[in-house]
Amino acid sequence: MTGFDVLDFFEPCGRISCLRDELSVTSDKKKVDASTLKENEDAALPDDRTTTIDVLDLPHISLKPPKNVLVAILRILKLEQQCNFGPGVENLTPSQFLSNRDLTIEDISDILPWLTIHSPRIASLDSFCQIGSTFTDSRDIVRYLTTILSSPLNWLQDPDVEDIYKAASSRLSERCGRTSIPDFVRKIVLKNLYERTGCESIQLKEPSLTSDNLGLKTWGSSFILSQRLINDDQRYLKEPIMELGAGTGLIGIVVAHLGYHVTLSDLPEILPNLKENIKLNHASAQADCHELDWTRPDPFIKENPNSLKGYNTLIFSDPVYSTNQPRWVADISEKFLRKSTEAHILLQVPIRSGFQKERDKLWALMEDKGFQLVESHQQDGYDDFGEQKFVFRVYKWYSSYL
């Protein structure tokens, strides 16, 4: 086993169903006024949506929809914000719902005359806002998007065609599994986060994922460990605290919001996004962020001479997915765990079936370094790729090493 390839988890889009060739067309063309739409706007979109919009109700490409119709359709098909590791539930007014998709009520009012004739089932504000949310099979949308992408769109101007292709490609990649999703902000909701910190949720920016930058995605381990820390921070968090391989920063940001000072660290290519997430969550006062490569810690030590006194809490979440990492994790723990009876290492590791050897190696190396296992729990959790078992371990120095 040489390395961890995130593309192992790629989820292809699968079967594609047929689209209807004909659309019912009504000649009842009306001018629709945006102010009328605003008056009709309910306080929130109805939860019990009774109208089922089918992909067949979308403007068929053979009808040569104008640019503004295609743009509005492609924006409304934008997926809801990811919440934890699935789509979130939105309870928004139509204006908020549209604004999250870069649309306004005026945009919809402009296209209603065309829709009334060519796509009558989506020719109202309410039904337009329901596009996408009532489709039972997302593969039909994929088919619709590929129909747009395979059309020359020759009734539109060149720059407009490019815009439409770009938007259709983005909607398509959003539906092709986590490895293809473009940049997005993931919302993390944890039990008692608000009660403990006053924050409703944590927002984590995740750039598009490449196989060698795994720290640009939030992993299930960090979610499960963050929840443990919220539930029992006094037991597990003893300053000074450092998180190693912090990735998108969930754990460190939660620790900062719980009122502790924490150092978040990772490789240089992960740092810009990590810093952005610290700012995005207003955690800069409690959290600092540094480059720390476990294989060459000297630049970090030079920049932070106090680090040589050691930390009372070292946190690792999902740090082992290649042959050399167990050794690096054990070595860096030896370097930075304070020689104190209260100092400890928190390790949250997913139980991926292909990485048993690496986990066993890590546990063996931790013993060799003089770390005693003082707590271990197996837990069920999940990630973008489905259900996952995790192990949480706490290590301390054996007293003979102090």
| Residues near ligand SAM (CB under 6 A) | 214-215, 218-219, 221-222, 245-248, 266-267, 270, 292-295, 317-319, 328
Euclidean distance between the first and the last CA atom of the chain, given in angstroms as a whole number: 35
Q: Do the beta carbons of residue 294 and residue 365 sit within 8 Å? A: no
Q: How far is the CB of 322 from ligand SAM (least distance, A)?
A: 8
As measured in angstroms, the least distance from the Cβ of 35 to ligand SAM is: 47
The β-bridge partners of 204 are 186
What is the rounded CA–CA span in Å between residue 216 and residue 210? 8
- Indicate the DSSP class of residue 209: P
Q: How far is residue 16 from each of residues 138, 145, 198, measured CA to CA in Å?
A: 9, 11, 45
- Minimum Å gap between C-beta 219 and ligand SAM is 4
CA dihedral 83, 196, 310, 217 (to 10 degrees): 0
Specify the residue, 127 or 317, whose C-beta has the smaller distance to ligand SAM: 317
Residue whose CB is less far from ligand SAM, 57 or 358: 358
Tell me: cis bond preceding 240? Omega within 30 of 0 counts: yes
Nearer to ligand SAM, 288 or 318 (CB): 318
Q: Which is nearer to ligand SAM, 164 or 292 (CB)?
A: 292
Q: How far is the CB of 343 from ligand SAM (least distance, A)?
A: 20
Token pair, residue 187, equals 């919302």
| Strand arrangement of the beta sheet that strand 313-317 belongs to | 287-291, 262-266, 241-244, 313-317, 344-350, 386-397, 371-383
Kindly tell me which of 20 and 357 has the beta carbon lying closer to ligand SAM: 357
- For ligand SAM, which is the closer residue by CB, 174 or 318? 318
CA distance 142 to 54: 13
The β-bridge partners of 265 are 244, 290
- Report the distance separating Cα 46 and Cα 28, nearest Å: 27
Strand pairing class (344-350; 386-397): antiparallel
CB of 353 to ligand SAM, least distance (A): 16
Q: How far is the CB of 4 from ligand SAM (least distance, A)?
A: 8
CB 346 → ligand SAM: shortest distance, Å? 11
- Determine the residue with CB nearest ligand SAM: 215
**Beta carbons of 111 and 69 less than 8 angstroms apart:** yes
Whose Cβ is closer to ligand SAM: residue 65's or residue 249's? 249
Q: Least Å distance between CB 247 and ligand SAM?
A: 3
Closest C-alpha among 40, 34, 41, 112 to residue 73? 112
Give Cβ neighbours of residue 227 (< 8 Å, ≥ 6 apart): 190, 191
Q: Which is nearer to ligand SAM, 219 or 397 (CB)?
A: 219
Classify 298 as helix, strand or coil.
helix
- Closest contact distance (angstroms) between CB of 180 and ligand SAM is 18
**Which residue shows structure tokens 């979109």?**
45
Identity of the residue, 139 or 228, whose beta carbon is nearer to ligand SAM in the bound complex: 228
